[in-house]
Amino acid sequence: MTAPPQGVEVDHIEFPAGRIRFYRAGSSGPAIILLHGGGPDNAMISWRHAIGVLAADHRVFVPDLPGQGGSMPWRGSANQRTFEEVLRWLLDAWQVPQAVLVGLSMGGSVAAGFALRNPQRVRGLVLVDSTGLQHRMHRHLLAHLALRSRFAGPLAAKLLRLNRTLVRHALTKIFFTGGQPVPDLESIVDEVGAEAGARGSVFADWHADAVARKAMRINHLPHLGQLRCPVMLIHGERDTLVPVQAARDAAGAIPGSMLRVLPDAGHWPNRERPTEFNALLREFVNTHR
């Protein structure tokens, strides 16, 4: 585990299925919950540069989702419903009746699903390059076959753990655009390699549950019109994992939502373009305090 930024506390809560590690910062103001993505991701990889910016006038909570980061091991399936239930338990434990949810990739699906099932607990919603908002993934059948293989996920994790060059290549070709320097790229390489090695697979249970052979089992798109809280979608223009059209479709389905597309950014605009990304995030949360 790499050290969190200055002023960020680390804590944990024990649940019957395992321990949830979380980070918190800020002593006053409305609550914001930051939810990271799947794959070789965790709370610090996703949100290292956002926590301090938001904590200036908000209380910020950043959990490692079950089965990732410091929330390993986890007994039982860490799927969409589990994530939503754990989020509800965490809000109760933190004594947070209502919060703005910010979700990246898989975390966006968790945030959207939670908001649809628990509207009274969500003050605002920010979906960042979110999965779970489309009928099919990019290269859907290939993704389905890889997820059904017993070897693809563990083999990829082993290679990432052993080869920093491979991690760097994967990041710049899959998660980033490769078109411009990424701040602190080498630190991200170290963290992603460590997370992949600790997990033993680059896939999460969420992916196996979400991706059926012909279509997505987890698809919030038909239900997004039910959202009544303020919603902003942030998406990297050159995201190769979740095409920007998915965000446009989702924005069109949510009454009054805002879509912000970051030019020349990929699937992790929060780490590729942190200054611009954090400015958009602060604008939203300060507007909807």
Instruction: Say what the pTM is.
Output: 0.95
- Measured distance CA(221)–CA(96) in Å, rounded: 27
242: nearest Cα among 214, 209, 207: 207
- pLDDT tens-digit readout, 188-246: 999 998 998 888 887 788 888 888 878 888 899 999 999 999 999 999 999 999 999 99
117 exposure class (CB count in 10 Å sphere: 0-12, 13-18, 19+): middle
Residue indicated by tokens 């602190």: 184
Quick check: helix, strand or coil at residue 8? coil
Give residue-wise pLDDT tens across range 151-181.
777 777 788 887 899 999 989 988 998 778 8
Q: What is the pLDDT of residues 134-145, one digit of tens each?
A: 988 777 666 666
pLDDT, position 209: 83
> What is the C-alpha to C-alpha distance for residues 82 and 88, in angstroms, rounded to an integer?
10
Report the percent of the chain where pLDDT is more than 70: 97
The gap from C-alpha 52 to its chain's centroid, in whole angstroms, comes to 18
Where are the strands (E) in 222-270, listed by range? 231-236, 258-262
Phi/psi of residue 104, each to 5°?
-105, 130
State how far the Cα of 28 lies from the Cα of 77, in Å rounded to an integer: 35
Average pLDDT over residues 253-274: 96
Alpha helices in the chain (DSSP H): 43-47, 51-55, 80-93, 106-117, 140-148, 152-162, 164-170, 185-199, 205-210, 244-253, 269-272, 274-287
3-class DSSP state for residue 19?
Answer: strand
